[in-house]
Amino acid sequence: MVIIGRVSKGSRMDQVYIPKNRSELSIGSLVILKPLEEKKGIVKPYLYNIKVIEPIKLEIIKRIFNIIEDLTDNENIIITGSFLDKGFHFNDIDVVIIIDKKINETYIKKSIENTLQIKIHLITLNNKEFKVGLETEPLYIMMLSRCISKKRFIYKLKNKFYYRRLDLNLLTSNQLTYGFDFLSGNEKYYLIRNMIAILMFIQNKKLTKESVDGEIKKVFNIEIKAIKDNLVEDKKEFLKKCNFIYKKTFNKIMEGVKNSTKQEKTY
């Protein structure tokens, strides 16, 4: 016997109602619930620089992929950010959709959040923007050095230095000097990471979350958790190092601008 029903929302548990007049499936019978129309899911996501991830996180990622697959005709879907760190200390999930068509980002974001009850930070890029980001944006390079994607992506790209754009990005980290006491620990970490990543990018060093965090610990002689928890003990010394790194990075950018043979386009 096959009975077709619809999942209904309950106060404590969702349920499926079936008719009382039936020849089989008596009360207490064991049954299997499965979708009437099975959707083709993402069989095996690709993991980049991730050795271990909790099974529940992998299941959440697969569900995100399936929701986006139903709503868009995309080139790729990428999950990145702190969600991939060990444990469950994250505020949201960073989702990047590679697609050449315009989509309703608000609707997709709400669809995922309403289904999974998890906050989503959604970024959409076309193929050109994605490739340019991997060539020119230090934070993009670092972010995508460790991720999980729907499809395999391989780009053999060389760093391109748009110094005026790097200067604008660096300016964000200037908040460390003028607003240090008003910033949260996570905000301080983000601004320091931005500054260090730009410097390492100009120096042609490998950009990964681990390499950038390692450089932060080396320069500031402090654990990343202490920064995020706002537990900087010697504020004066910490700011002194911030200013030193900022000026060093700024000077290298200005040197690059001066030596540039072509006028860069600013965005």
Can you give the CATH number for the domain in which 57 is found?
Answer: 3.30.460
The encoded tokens of residue 39 equal: 């959707």
Tens-digit pLDDT profile for residues 19-31: 877 777 788 888 8
Q: Of 149, 174, 191, which closes a domain? A: 149
> Crossing angle, helix 235-259 and helix 209-220, to 10 degrees?
120
Is residue 19 domain-resident? no
Is residue 57 domain-resident? yes
Is residue 211 domain-resident? yes
Nearest to 150 by CA among 90, 208, 66, 70: 66
Q: In what order do the strands lie in the sheet with 46-48?
A: 46-48, 147-149, 76-80, 93-98, 120-125
Is residue 2 domain-resident? no
Is residue 177 located within the same domain as residue 247? yes
The encoded tokens of residue 84 equal: 């991939």
Q: Is residue 220 pLDDT above 70, yes or no?
A: yes
Is residue 106 located within the same domain as residue 186? no
- For the entire predicted model, the pTM comes to 0.74
- Alpha-carbon distance of 30 to 147, in angstroms, equals 40
Tens-digit pLDDT profile for residues 73-111: 999 999 998 899 888 877 889 999 999 989 999 999 999
Is residue 115 located within the same domain as residue 179? no
Tens-digit pLDDT profile for residues 232-262: 989 999 999 999 999 999 999 999 988 875 5
Is residue 171 located within the same domain as residue 222? yes
- Alpha-carbon distance of 77 to 230, in angstroms, equals 34
Is residue 141 domain-resident? yes
CA distances from 73 to 65, 102, 106, 154 (A): 12, 10, 16, 20
Is residue 3 domain-resident? no
Is residue 52 located within the same domain as residue 133? yes
Tens-digit pLDDT profile for residues 162-171: 999 999 999 9
Q: Of 149, 176, 196, which closes a domain? A: 149
Tens-digit pLDDT profile for residues 146-203: 999 999 877 667 888 999 999 999 999 999 988 999 999 999 999 999 999 999 999 9
Is residue 139 located within the same domain as residue 194? no
Is residue 185 domain-resident? yes
Is residue 249 located within the same domain as residue 169? yes
User: Is the CB of residue 176 less than 8 Å from the CB of residue 262?
Assistant: no
Is residue 136 located within the same domain as residue 187? no
Is residue 133 located within the same domain as residue 88? yes
Residue 100: domain span: 47-149
Is residue 189 located within the same domain as residue 107? no
Is residue 137 located within the same domain as residue 174? no
User: Is the CB of residue 141 less than 8 Å from the CB of residue 211?
Assistant: no
Is residue 238 domain-resident? yes
Q: Which residues of 45-75 are buried (b: 16+ CB within 10 A; e: fewer)?
A: bebeeeeebeeebeebbbbbbbbbbeebebb
Angle CA(160)–CA(161)–CA(164) in degrees, nearest 5? 140
- The confidence score (pLDDT) of residue 263 equals 47
Is residue 118 located within the same domain as residue 199? no
**Dihedral sign, Cα of residue 135, residue 137, residue 142, residue 144:** negative
Report the number of distinct structural domains present in the chain.
2
Q: Of 149, 183, 200, which closes a domain? A: 149
